[in-house]
């Protein structure tokens, strides 16, 4: 079973690619998380698979995102005792593999290794996302690695990460969450069309629509899905995101374009597609 968490689509894309080789059940942790918040008595907490469990998610502060960690620790994994991790990142996954091994230990599962794959940077609250063509090139160059990870999982081999992760002290991660992981600076501009795409997508159910506009509720995980997916590019995070390109990769490999450029592309290379399904 492949369980993926994604903010802006990179990890969903990686999970889908991986599944071309694993041919397994694909489960969206985002959907499961929302269900646990919105309908906790009918949500799923136990996952059964004869094949190994594979967790695909982004890297947050050189680590497994806390929201994913909490999800895994609140879940039960039945039948297979093996768990793999595939982390997408903008540049480095640091010590995420170490944390993944600890999570498996707590869950009494066998840690079968972690792989890191570089995908386009999505963290526009702090950095910049690559331009569409560059993003396509980055994603294309990730494909052979994802394929090799898939082959190793199918062969039931232990995965040794090819990235060299440096150790990140706990206080760095703690202060990252304290100072950067919050929603206090999110606001919406007048061009918001009130479509509620942000609220419907938010994995932590942190956005409520009031008077047709989104309002953040104080338990944000900074996944960037709201700011990335907004069709009007109406969401900002303080002054940091002003005039920056938004990044969102749809399930079919298409990138989101800003409203003014959203016309039918004349050629394949203009489309920002990684592949056409
Ligand atoms: C809050 C946050 C923290 C991040 N921290 C890191 C990091 O420590 N190292 C890194 O290489 N990329 C980091 N990134 C970039 C993402 O891991 C990367 O773009 C990932 O592919 C996004 O996946 P997604 O689209 O599935 O959410 C961070 C992104 C966010 C939103």
Identify the DSSP state of 208.
E
Q: Is the CB of 9 under 6 A from ligand 1?
A: yes
Q: Is 173 a member of any domain?
A: no
Q: What is the CATH number of the domain that holds 40?
A: 3.40.50.360
Q: Is the CB of 5 under 6 A from ligand 1?
A: no
Rounded CA separation 199/176 (Å): 25
Q: What is the tens place of the pLDDT at every residue in 83-110?
A: 999 999 999 999 899 999 999 999 999 9
Q: Is 176 a member of any domain?
A: no
Same domain flag for 245 and 190? yes
pLDDT reported for residue 272: 61
What is the domain count for the chain? 2
Q: Is the CB of 88 under 6 A from ligand 1?
A: yes
Q: Is the CB of 224 under 6 A from ligand 1?
A: yes
Rounded CA separation 252/203 (Å): 20
Residue nearest to atom 30 of ligand 1 (CA): 123
Q: At what angle do helices 10-22 and 132-154 cross, to 10 degrees?
A: 40
Q: Is the CB of 71 under 6 A from ligand 1?
A: no
Distance of CA 114 to the CA centre of its chain: 16
Same domain flag for 56 and 146? yes
Same domain flag for 134 and 187? no
Same domain flag for 106 and 218? no
123 CA from centroid of ligand 1 (Å): 6
State the residue range of the domain holding 83. 2-154
pLDDT reported for residue 274: 67
pLDDT(266) > 70 = no
Q: Is the CB of 225 under 6 A from ligand 1?
A: no
275: confidence class by pLDDT, cuts 50, 70, 90: low
Q: Is 49 a member of any domain?
A: yes
Same domain flag for 134 and 92? yes
Q: Is 43 a member of any domain?
A: yes
Residue nearest to atom 4 of ligand 1 (CA): 60
pLDDT reported for residue 273: 66
Q: Is the CB of 58 under 6 A from ligand 1?
A: yes
Q: Is 29 a member of any domain?
A: yes
Q: DSSP string of 35-91?
A: HHHH-TTTS--EEEESSPEEEEEE-BTTB--HHHHHHHHT-EEEE--EEEEEEEESS
Q: What is the tens place of the pLDDT at every residue in 150-202?
A: 999 999 999 988 776 777 888 999 999 999 999 999 999 999 999 999 999 99
For 113, residues 6+ apart whose C-beta sits below 8 A from its C-beta are 84, 85, 97, 158, 159, 160, 161
Q: What is the tens place of the pLDDT at every residue in 22-70?
A: 999 999 999 999 999 999 999 999 999 999 999 999 999 999 999 999 9
259 CA from centroid of ligand 1 (Å): 24
User: What is the token pair recorded at 251?
Assistant: 């399930």
Same domain flag for 140 and 220? no
Cβ atoms of 21 and 150 within 8 Å: the answer is yes
């Amino acid at each position: 079973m492949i369980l993926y968490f994604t903010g802006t689509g990179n990890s969903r894309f990686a999970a889908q690619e991986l599944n071309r080789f694993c041919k397994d059940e694909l489960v969206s942790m985002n959907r499961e998380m929302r269900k646990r918040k919105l309908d906790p008595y009918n949500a799923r907490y136990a996952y059964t698979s004869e094949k190994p469990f594979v967790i695909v998610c982004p890297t947050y502060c050189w680590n497994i995102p806390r929201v994913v960690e909490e999800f895994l620790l609140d879940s039960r994994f039945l039948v297979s005792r093996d768990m793999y991790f595939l982390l997408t990142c903008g540049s480095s996954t640091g010590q995420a593999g170490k944390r993944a091994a600890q999570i498996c230990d707590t869950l009494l599962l066998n840690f079968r290794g972690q792989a890191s794959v570089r995908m386009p940077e999505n963290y526009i609250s702090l950095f910049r996302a690559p331009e569409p063509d560059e993003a396509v090139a980055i994603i294309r160059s990730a494909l052979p690695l994802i394929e090799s990870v898939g082959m190793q999982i199918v062969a039931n081999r232990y995965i040794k990460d090819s990235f060299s992760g440096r150790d990140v002290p706990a206080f760095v991660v703690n202060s990252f969450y304290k100072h950067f992981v919050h929603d206090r600076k999110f606001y919406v501009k007048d061009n918001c069309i009130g479509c509620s795409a942000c609220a419907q997508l938010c994995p932590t159910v942190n956005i409520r629509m009031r008077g047709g506009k989104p309002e953040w509720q104080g338990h944000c995980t900074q996944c960037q899905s709201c700011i990335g997916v907004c069709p009007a590019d109406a969401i900002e995070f303080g002054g940091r995101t002003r005039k920056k390109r938004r990044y969102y990769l749809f399930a079919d490999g298409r990138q989101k374009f800003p409203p003014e450029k959203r016309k039918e592309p004349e050629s394949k290379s203009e489309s920002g597609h990684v592949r056409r399904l």
